[in-house]
Structure 1
Amino acid sequence: MSTKEIREMSEAEIEKQLRDTRDARVNLRMRKQTGQIEHPHEFKEMRRQIARLETILKEKKLATASA
């Protein structure tokens, strides 16, 4: 998901996407422990996706607080 797509989402949608991504990261860690992971680069992608979501969510909350 691109930054542009995230910016078009509402705060509630971003929070839901953030929860879903964190849950997927937990599942990925479990798969890694059992040796079932096929694409180790997914860890890096998920970490960056979570950071993007958190950053844009914070920007939106600050914008609504100052408005």
Structure 2
Amino acid sequence: MSTGADLRELDESALTKKIAEQRRELFGLRFSHATGELENTAALRSAKRELARALTVARERGITVPTNQKS
């Protein structure tokens, strides 16, 4: 679990990598939850908060973080 202070110490490229990693983790947890394999449902909440922290730090810095959504 990373705190806001830990995330603020990261440089721009490390922060974007962290955000991508958190998105992949959240996707995996959502998939596991949908298939009934997820036993620790609190992990979903934790992953969402971690991603939100990282995105908040990126927004504070004015970093544009690409989304993985196709338009």
Alignment of 1:1-67 (within 5 A): 1-61=2-62
State the TM-score, normalized to the length of structure 2. Answer: 0.79
Q: Higher helix proportion, which one?
A: 1
Which of structures 1 and 2 has the larger relative contact order (alpha carbons within 8 angstroms, sep 6+)?
A: 1
Deviations 1:5-48 (A, max 9, x none): 10100111111000111011111111112211011011111111
Structure 1 unpaired stretches of 5+: 63-67
Distance in 2, matches of 1:23 and 1:15, equals 13
What percent identity do the matched residue pairs reach?
24
The letter of the residue matching 1:57 is A
Question: Which has the greater radius of gyration?
Answer: 1
Aligned length: 62
When the two chains are superposed, the root-mean-square deviation of aligned CA atoms in Å is 1.3
* Structure 1 residue runs of 4 or more that deviate by more than 3 Å after TM superposition: none
SS in 2 for 1:35: coil
State the TM-score, normalized to the length of structure 1. Answer: 0.83
Structure 2 unpaired stretches of 5+: 64-71
Distance in 2, matches of 1:56 and 1:4, equals 9
Query: How far did residue 50 of structure 1 move?
Result: 1.0
